[in-house]
Each structure stands twice: as C-alpha cells, then as structure tokens.
Amino acid sequence: MSSSFVYGLVLGFCRAILNVFFREIRSRGSYHIPRTGPIIIAAAPHHNQFLDVILASEVWNQSRRHVGFLVATSSMRQRFIGTIGRLLGAIPVERAQDLAKAGKGAIYLDDEDPTLVHGIATNFTAQLGPKMQILLPKSALSAVAQVTEVLSDNEARIKTVFTIGDGADGTKKVKDQYAKVKQAGKQGLDYKIIPHVDQHKMYENVYDRLEEGGAIGIFPEGGSHDRTDLLPLKSGIAIMALGAMASDPNLKVKIIPAGLSYFHPHRFRSRMVIEFGRAMDVPQDLVDQFKAGGKGKFVASAKLLEIIYDGLKTVTVRAPDYETLQLIQASRRLYKTPGQHLTLGQVVQLNRRFIEGYLHFQDEPRIQALKRRVTDYDRQLRSLGLRDHQVEGATRVAWKSLALLIYRTGLLLAWTIFALPGVILNGPIFIVASYMSRKKAKEALAKSVVKVAARDVIGTWKVLVFLALAPILYTVYALIGTYIAYRVGAETRWIIATPFITWTVVPIIGYWALKFGEAGMDVFKSLPPLVLAVLPGRHQRLEKLKQTRADLSNEISSVIDEFGPKLYGKDFDQHRIVPPSAGPPPGQAPGLGRQKSGTVGVDAQGDLLIHPMTWLDERIFGWNQSARDSSSTSRETSRATSPAQSDDEDDHEGNVVVERGDWDDVLGTLHAHEKRRGSRSYAQR
C-alpha cells in the first residue's frame, strides 16, 4: 500500500467518526494552500483537542497534501492516538509540563530581590538545575520562572521574575498568596519542578520535513482552551520557519493561517467552519537577522510571530469575552444583509466584521443604547422560549397555527418512535460519554489557568469514549444475539451469521436513530412559537416582540450606514455585502475535494427527512413563503419557524507547540543539521 493510500484511509476513518459528532463542516479559502513546496499551517483557536484532525482532512481533500501535526509525546504514547498519529505522520514533541514533579518542601520570594527564591526544608542542589523551571500552584495563578543558578539547598536564583498568564509580572500575586498561606499556618508555597527538555530531535524532524517540501501543522497557542480570544502565540512556530530557512538558503517556507470557528464545540452535532488565509512568505531580512545570532534571534522571531498573529486575525472570530460575543451574534442575526443569502462561512466573516466595528465604536452613546436594546430583546426571547429566527413568522392565522402545531406534534412523535431503538441500543455510550467528558473537563479546568469552562475537553472525550465503547458494546450485542439464536434452536449457519448481522445492523440502526433524532429535535425547537400563537392573550405580546425585532433590525442597519464608512472608508457601500469564498486566482487549480455550500441549516437532514415537513408547511399550511417564491432570498426571509433551521450560530491535547526559550536547542540543532547536510557550519555565528 502506498503511503498516500494509508494516509487517506486513516483520514477517512477519522472523518467518518467526526462526521457523526459534527452536523456540518465547511471550509473556505482552501485554494490558498500551495500544491507544492514547504508550508507550515498555523491553526487557531485551539477550541477542541484531538478533533482538530479535521484540519488535516480538509487539506487532504482540497490539495492532496500530507500534513504532519506536532503532537505531544504523552499523547503519542497512548495506543489508539499514537497509532493514528504515526500513520498520519505526526511529529512527537516532549512537553516539559508533562514531566513536572512535586518539589520537596516549600518556597517563598525574597522581600528585597524578587529573583531570589528561598526554600524551607528543600533540597535545591539535588532537585534543581539551570534551565529548569519552578511552577507554583493554581492558587498562585500557576506562576512560572526559569532557574539560572542554584546557590544552596535553600536558595536559588531565577532568570527574571515569576510570570503569569501572558507573561505579565506575577511577583505581587506570588507574594500576596504567600501572605495568605502564612496566615493559614503554612511556612511557604508548594511548587513543582519542570525539567529542561532537549528539543533537538523534534527540530531535526521538522527541518527534514520542510526540506523535503512537506507540510507541518501547528497550533501556536499551545494547549487547547475555550476562550473567545486568541492566547499569546508561542515562539516555536517562528523558530521552525526561520531555522529551516536559515539552514538552507534555497528553502522558501510559506505559512498558511487557518481559522477554526466552532458553533457549540462541546455539543454533539455542532457545526464548524475552517477558513484558510493567504499564504505568507517569511521575510528574508528576518532570516538574515536570525542567522546573525545574539539578540537578533529574539527580535526576528518576535517580528515573525507578529506577522503570524496578524494573519490569524484575518481568519478567526475573536472577542474579548463571552458577553461581547453573545451581543455580536445577537446583533448579526438581527441584521438584514442586503439582497444576500448567507452561507455558514459568510456568517463567520460577518461576525468578524461586527466584532471589529463594535470594538472600534463601543464607547459611542448610540452604540451603547443599541447594546441595551439588543440585550433586552435577547432576554425577552429567553423568557418566551423562542429563538430569534422564529419571531418573524410566529404569528399567523390561528387555525393554521393550530393545524401546524398538531401536525408537527404528530411528526415529532413519529420521529421519536423511529429513533427510540437506536437511542436504547446506544444509550450506554451516551451516558458514559456524558459522564466522562464532564469529569475530564473538571480535571482539566482544575489544572489550567487559561480555560473558562473546559468546553474544549468535552467534545474530545465524547469522541474518544465512543471510539472505545462502541466496539465493545456492539460485540456484547453480537454475543447476546448469538446466544439467543442458539437457545431458540436456529440453524447452524444462522448462529454463525448472527454476530456479523448484528455488527452490521446495530450501527445502521444507530445512524438512523441519529438522523431521525436530529430531525425530531428540529421539529421540537419549532413548537414554542406555534404554542404561543394559539394560546389566548399571547398574540399581542408576540406582535409587540415582532415589532421590536423589526425596529432593532432597522436600527442596526442605520448604525452600520453611519459608522461603516468611518471604519472601512468611502467605498463601504460597494463592499458592504459579505463576499462568498472567492475562487482561486487565475491559473491556479481549485481544490480537488468538493466544498459544501448552501445555507445555514437548510436541508441539513437531507431530502428524505425534511421533505414531509417542508412540503406540508409550505403548500398546505402556507407557513413559509418559499412555496410562493422559490428564490434563495425569500427562503432566507421565510425561515422564521422552519423546523430545519436552528440558531447554532449562537455560541460558538494532543496538538502542541514548542515552548519559548529553546534558543540554545535551536542553534545546536541547526549546527548538527548543517554538518549533516555537508554545508558550512553556523558555529561561528
């Protein structure tokens, strides 16, 4: 078997599993991926852990390129993940934090010199050494510092000061925490020791892959998280790009920013969009500066990180907090895009524009007033149990609303009956996956200082539990079926065939339970506005809410008309419509794989399940306008209570990068690499 065949086969297996978890996966801008030459794909945000294999799948589908991601050695040691990683050409990275060990005794900082660490009952000479790091507990914000010198068993010198989060000075926080534990009767702070890890082997693997014209993937934020903004980028990606080009003057590495936008990443049957940005060249002057050595290495890497960060900003949706993100998404739903029918990718792009505009003008009185009105409208929706897309069509002729309510209730019952066998058969997996994912999320949250609710862990563990339990559960069903066949006296051939039949039929039942259950949930979500429409006294409130929505929609359009030109210039009116994913430049072939297209949520179940709902809704009950006008624009405006429509846009660890400060490792690796290639050495530099 060829390596390409194996690679495609493994990706196909992973994608089949992930297509069960995700309801919809779309990509934009894949034509930006060069078909040949060394590339580094920088992906962010890292909102899911092992589920980001989707990125490798999209690159393969669109360009037939193998992407070897950097994966933690601790993950590669796991049997299943390690096997998949090796087959996909992953590059193992030993993370120092995975090797952290508890230090003996307790420590505190010197009152006069924040770089001097004192120990109580410690054994620094045996446990610490240069380049090792001291990690404080989460109560001290997981502050960390690098050791430069061990003075005695009870004293050590750190490089600068203890830093927290994005590298901020944590001296005050550490001393405040020390004061608290001292009041509680403890003499000092607990700590862990992080050893120094030699990354020569990893850098060699990266440089070899790039020299061969290959592709590597990296998440430059480091570990996964569930924040609404990007974390500070680690320096590893800059070291790789600059180091590879410094070791081979003929090598031209390109960096491709890839933005991953998840809608409810922790939920089963969520959606995601992958957007690839323009390929970025590594400036030659930064390569020369890096080769010069000294402080130039740091400056060059810092500048390249800024370029990469700017590139990631063009393909990601970033908000300072969840409150802002929810406000932006609510406002975007209220905005009527002029004469446009948005795809899922365009929704992501529009979110990005809204955030940019809001952050720029958020202190304007008109913006603040609009914010209060949108927030109040969103609160009214929640109190009524409605979704925004259901408001416009929530009041119709009473008999039609009642008839449609009865029809959809019957349809919901039918879908429930069809889904019930699969739900029962796969129930143990759902229960265990829910329990394990929440348990692992709590553990991850306790260890992390960057996670908000550890939602990035939940989705990963749901998939892993499914992969582990499904074969076991289906085997148990096969044994039970075989035993029953034997007990009822079936023919030998049927007894032998029973396990194979069971292994074939049970997954099919599970798949159709998934599709029927999903259709049923869509119908269930469409019932609240119908119930409200037929209840006495609710008509007036719904009409008022509908008018509020119309007023807000007009106000948002007016605000955009006023502030848009101030942000985007005089030609704003010509470019206000969000463009779809553009095709490749002239002369460049499009991606090999077919990209999905279409509307958000429309026909998500396929014609088989949607047809009975849309046909009766449109042609008998007249609920949707698309029966009278089949244009895409009318369908967009008529989605008010369509059961196929949902507000999945509402919300939206194996992959790692190299930690900062590996400069000596890099120079040593480049030296060995140059020597092995027969080129002149860098040693004198």
3-state secondary structure 85-99: HHHCCCEEECCHHHH
Q: Which range scores top for mean pLDDT: 133-142, 440-449, 662-671?
A: 133-142
Which helix (DSSP H) or strand (DSSP E) does residue 614 occupy? Answer: helix 607-619
Task: Give the SS3 label for residue 456.
Answer: helix
pLDDT-based confidence at 51, cuts 50/70/90?
low
Based on the number of CB atoms within 10 Å of its own CB, is 587 exposed (0-12), middle (13-18) or buried (19 or more)?
exposed
The whole-model pTM stands at: 0.69
- Tell me the two tokens of residue 39: 């590339």
Tens digits of residue pLDDT in 531-562: 877 777 677 777 888 889 889 999 998 998 88
Tens digits of residue pLDDT in 154-188: 999 998 888 876 667 778 888 888 888 888 888 88
Q: Indicate if the pLDDT at residue 607 is higher than 70.
A: no
Q: Indicate if the pLDDT at residue 482 is higher than 90.
A: yes
424 Cβ neighbours under 8 A, 6+ residues apart = none
Higher model confidence: residue 349 or residue 449?
Answer: 349
Q: Which range scores top for mean pLDDT: 69-78, 154-163, 263-272, 589-598?
A: 154-163
* Residue 375 near residue 334 (C-beta atoms within 8 A): no
d(CA 397, CA 407): 15
* Residue 484 near residue 490 (C-beta atoms within 8 A): no
Q: Indicate if the pLDDT at residue 682 is higher than 50.
A: no
The whole-number pLDDT of residue 369 equals 92
DSSP 600: S
The whole-number pLDDT of residue 303 equals 93
Q: Which of 305, 132, 98, 324 is nearest to 221 (CA)?
A: 305
d(CA 561, CA 216): 43
Q: Which range scores top for mean pLDDT: 223-232, 407-416, 525-534, 596-605?
A: 407-416
Burial state string for 18-45 with b = 16 or more CB within 10 A and e = fewer than 16: beebbbbbbbbbbbbbbeeebbbbbbbb
What Cα–Cα distance (Å) separates residue 248 from each residue in 210, 305, 376, 466? 10, 21, 60, 45
d(CA 263, CA 325): 12
DSSP assignment of 197-241? ---HHHHHHHHHHHHTT-EEEE-TT-S----SSPPPPPTHHHHHH
What Cα–Cα distance (Å) separates residue 237 from each residue in 166, 301, 479? 17, 9, 50
pLDDT-based confidence at 120, cuts 50/70/90?
very high
426 Cβ neighbours under 8 A, 6+ residues apart = 473, 510, 513
The whole-number pLDDT of residue 630 equals 34
The whole-number pLDDT of residue 24 equals 77
Higher model confidence: residue 453 or residue 641?
Answer: 453
